[in-house]
């Protein structure tokens, strides 16, 4: 059995700089997240009721990434908290990853 890996960034928590940085062309060692430009399909999910990673922070950082020319599918899940967003976004994240693996064009909320 052969397993194929596809470079896809799914950023569930804005605090997960390492996940986002792994998908970026710039060095993440010294660069803040806002200065990076993901070079792979990237999805960001945020819960509107998250009290650990506030939506305003994710909005700001995602807007900065978009300003750098990134193509990002950013989705906010109404009423989801920090853990609840994982469950609420599961089907969307799964569909996103499958779509990327199949070579389908993904939504770009930066446009």
Query: Model's pTM, two decimal places?
Result: 0.73
Can you tell me whether residue 103 is helix, strand or coil? coil
Q: Which structure tokens are listed for 87? A: 């469950």
Cα torsion 8, 23, 2, 93 to 10°: value is -20
* pLDDT, tens only, 34-88: 678 888 889 999 999 999 999 999 999 999 999 999 999 999 999 999 999 999 9
């Amino acid at each position: 059995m052969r397993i194929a890996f596809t470079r896809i960034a799914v950023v569930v928590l804005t605090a997960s700089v390492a996940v986002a940085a792994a998908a970026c062309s710039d060095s993440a060692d010294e660069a803040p997240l806002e200065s990076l430009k993901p070079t792979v399909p990237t999805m960001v999910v945020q819960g509107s009721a998250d009290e650990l990673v506030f939506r305003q922070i994710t909005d700001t950082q995602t807007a900065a990434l978009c300003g750098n020319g990134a193509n990002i599918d950013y989705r906010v899940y109404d009423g989801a908290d920090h853990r609840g967003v994982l469950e609420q976004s599961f089907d969307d994240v799964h569909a996103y990853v499958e779509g990327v693996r199949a070579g389908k064009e993904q939504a770009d909320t930066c446009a």
